[in-house]
Amino acid sequence: MYLGIDLGGTKIAAGIGDEKLNLDKTIQKPTPQKREEILEEIRKIAEDFCSQFEIKSIGVGVPGAVNNDGAVVKIPNLEGWDNFPLEEKLNSMLPKKTYIENDANCAALAELVAGAGKKYDNFIYITLSTGIGGGIVIGGEIYRGAEGTAGEIGHMIIDVNGPQCGCGRTGCWEALASGTAISKLAKETPEITEEGKEVNAILAADLAEKGNESALKIFQKVVEYNAIGISNLANILNPQAVILGGGLTKRTKLVFDPLVEELKKRNVNTIIEKAVHETGVMGTIALAVKNTT
Ligand SMILES: [Zn+2]
């Protein structure tokens, strides 16, 4: 068995699974504020699992960039993690060999090890969710780049005159087509409203699926921006496939199918597949499996 621990901005999820990512026991804890408290929580979780099960190794996913030496470069929503040597620290604290990786790369690994990417050596995993992230697999390995931060596809510029992005630039893919971007547009659109419901990307998608014209317009643009981003990537990397995960991808008729159509119109012939694994924990177990077997 392998233990996966997915550190998120609001929760820490953990679980165990085998080489084929058959998931067994999982747990969830709220993410504490301070770094030391988070490390302590991870230690408790690991010791608890390792005392009950035969664990070969541990994978830990973090919601930020990780360099090639296993140090966290930065976690956007948590303080005190800049340039923190997390892999080294965890290996001094935890009972089994531990690997760390950026969460989007973990998700790509889940597809590679036992998901939609199993039959490919070269593919791009893209999560269309609250944010837009990705993992690039070349020759059966994550492409990490010179410093380990490759694959930040959400910050590819799609429209130079586009809205401000959290990274400081304007017109990034994420600023135009992520769940956060859709929520922002929905709040600026008076027609997107339903009594007793919060106006966000989920409501916008629900209304668009019911035929709300204003909401549909937002999603038509979202599909177009996603198609531009994917076609740029396909042109550069010529992958065997693009594997899409994240909440937006699950909206088959509203997002996934129109996106496949839009790509065909743009002469992008890359195979587009849906991701099989949707939880962060699967990716962290895949990280442990990939490094151990
Ligand atoms: Zn950006």
Q: How far apart are the first and last CA of the chain?
A: 12
173 CA to centre of ligand 1 in angstroms: 7
Is residue 17 over pLDDT 80? Answer: yes
236 CA to centre of ligand 1 in angstroms: 19
Is residue 293 over pLDDT 80? Answer: no
181 CA to centre of ligand 1 in angstroms: 12
201-209 helix and 213-237 helix, angle to the nearest 10 degrees: 110
152 CA to centre of ligand 1 in angstroms: 9
Identify the pLDDT of residue 166.
87
Rg (CA), the chain: 19
Is the pTM above the cut of 0.75? Answer: yes
Q: How many C-alpha atoms does 134 have within 13 Å on its Cβ side? A: 24
Encode pLDDT of 116-155 as tens digits: 999 999 999 999 999 999 999 999 999 999 999 899 999 9
169 CA to centre of ligand 1 in angstroms: 5
238 CA to centre of ligand 1 in angstroms: 23
162 CA to centre of ligand 1 in angstroms: 11
273 CA to centre of ligand 1 in angstroms: 25
The pair phi, psi for residue 243, each rounded to 5°, is -110, 120
Closest CA to 156 of 233, 74, 77: 233
